[in-house]
Amino acid sequence: MSQITVQGAPNIYVCEAGALTRMEEVIKKQGFKKGALIHGVKSWEASHEKFASLDLTLTHMLYGGECSKVEVARMEQAVLAEQADYLIGVGGGKVLDLVKAIAHTVNKPYILVPTLASNCAPWTPLSVFYDENGKFINYEIFPHNAFMVAVDPEIIIHSPKDYLRAGIGDTIAKWYEAEVLIRDMAPKPLAIEVSIHAAQLCRDVLIDEGLDAIKALEEKAVTPSFIRVIETIIMAGGMVGGYGDRYGRIAGAHAIHNGLTTLPETHSCLHGDKVAYGILVQLALDNNLEEVTTLLPFYNRLNLPVSLTDLNVSGNLADAFNKTASAATKEGESIHFMKHSSMEAVEAAMSQLEEHVQSYFNLAK
């Protein structure tokens, strides 16, 4: 077993109404003077009222829509020109990943304010990079966690429903990917035990309360289930990799996501939706169609994708299987942490999944 590095949590984490007021107090207590506030158009629309009452010196910077190496370099120069001594990232996963990468290159502390609960990006010191066309390139883990993560449920309650659904899909993958990575590990270090417990929480809480949280968002009601679900996505989801390191990060499901980014039809689909589909492919690859059957009713209730058709892919599915499997199994991909990871095995698993899903829903009619 390779060495485990624990990066368990940000320095400070709060999840409460008025979290940005707490953030202001922390910034002033720390002695930070000038911040670079990086956000997107929609994330600023969602959060600007919360910032209006804060007494902070902030320079607003609009990101270009993608977390790419080109965008990191562009924004890095803007941050240096402003001589900011800290960064604040406001938005979803791509904005927050961008801020983490910039903070690393300019060696400044950073604070993250998520406007969505679509993944664990606010928690984990990791950035996923894409090219300018949205194709996955790689990911990078950084040595420093966020100085603070400030989650205000009153912001996230106004986010689009699809992002919360996708966040649930992405976070359920924590259990399935971690379990396959540590299944045969003995003895398990304590950090791995913490990681797998957090992964189990992700699966159990989201299956039990995920639909209630989505209904709460539809009604714009910050309920206990809503808070529990967004904290599961952000905090528990982040703890899986934070304590488990490579044994708690990604395996087959995320590799399938990466493979799917080679299909232009999927570019409009959310990250978590593609990962959710990837869970089913991983289970088929692991010869566990029984668990696929267990998950299908839950997927159906939440409208998570169960086939390539649900990801806008039509026509020659064999070609889509081939392209996805080819990219998902390239050298260095996380799918190779699994026992079966050849391109041919992934193609067969995708085909088998399509047949299984079609058969399941035909019987359910």
Catalytic residues: 170, 254, 257, 271
- Cis before 224? omega within 30: no
113: tokens are 């304010």
* Three-state DSSP class for residue 179: helix
Separation CA 109–CA 26 (nearest Å): 13
* Residue 97 counted as an annotated binding residue: yes
* Residue 131 counted as an annotated binding residue: no
* Residue 210 counted as an annotated binding residue: no
Torsion of CA 144, 149, 155, 158, to 10 degrees: 50
Distance from first CA to last CA of the chain, Å, rounded?
A: 47
Q: What is the DSSP letter of 306?
A: -
Torsion of CA 258, 260, 263, 268, to 10 degrees: -90
* Residue 50 counted as an annotated binding residue: no
* Residue 130 counted as an annotated binding residue: yes
Is 280 within 8 Å of 295 (Cβ atoms)?
Answer: yes
* Residue 212 counted as an annotated binding residue: no
* Residue 60 counted as an annotated binding residue: no
63: tokens are 């990101």
Separation CA 50–CA 68 (nearest Å): 28
Q: Nearest CA to 116 among 162, 48, 75?
A: 162
Amino acid 168 reads I
* Residue 117 counted as an annotated binding residue: yes
Q: What is the DSSP letter of 144?
A: -
Q: What is the DSSP letter of 123?
A: T
Positions at the binding site for glycerol: 170, 254, 271
- Residue ranges for the known binding site are 93-97, 115-118, 124, 126, 130, 170, 254, 271
| Residue ranges of the binding site for NAD(+) | 93-97, 115-118, 124, 126, 130
